[in-house]
Amino acid sequence: MTQRINYFQQSPELCKKFVEFSTLLNDCTIEEPIRDLVNIRASQINGCGFCLDMHVKEARIHGERELRLHHVAVWRESTLFSPRERAALAWTEVLTTLPEHGVPDEIYERVRGQFSEKELSDLTFEVMAINGWNRANVAFRTVPGSSDKAFGLDKANLA
């Protein structure tokens, strides 16, 4: 795969602001393991090889177990995720795919049972951010692993 354009070079100020926005999420109310799962699941749904590669490596660096990473795609059938993680994954899926008639009340109520209003708001911004990154990297065919050294992802030892 060949990258189409380098959007960081073409739109440096916009990328800088989007990176700042994404970096703010590191200090939000949503714990890192859930943020990792959200980023992986949205990237799977969107078919973003660059982001999927990046976030699997980040999750491993953060201490995530390998088997759980393999189970993200089948989280409904897996026994490896807590109710809170399941709610976050359900929220990620519904916001990433946006059904024709919006978010069903049943999903909202299930997620709301696991997250406070502030946490749900923060989780929504996490989903928004990864979907934005997915769209840019899919559009411009950013090559998976091409920024490993720059982001310290070579430390995951998953090459």
What average pLDDT does the structure give for the chain?
95
Separation CA 81–CA 149 (nearest Å): 30
- In degrees, rounded to 5, the angle at the alpha carbon of residue 132 between the alpha carbons of residues 101 and 100 is 10
Counting other chains too, the contacts that 29-33 makes at CB distance below 8 Å and 24 or more residues apart are 29/116, 29/118, 29/119, 29/122, 30/88, 30/119, 30/122, 30/123, 30/126, 32/62, 33/59, 33/62, 33/64, 33/85
State phi, psi for 66 to the nearest 5 degrees. Answer: -60, -45
Q: What domains, with CATH codes, occur in the chain?
A: 31-149 (1.20.1290.10)
What tens digit of pLDDT does each residue of 62-116 get? 999 999 999 999 999 999 999 999 999 999 999 999 999 999 999 999 999 999 9
pLDDT of residue 156: 83
pLDDT the model gives residue 116? 98
The pLDDT tens digits of the residues spanning 29-44 come to 999 999 999 999 999 9
Q: Using a cut of 0.85, tell me whether the model's pTM lies above it.
A: yes
Name the nearest CA neighbour of 138 among 56, 42, 22, 59.
42
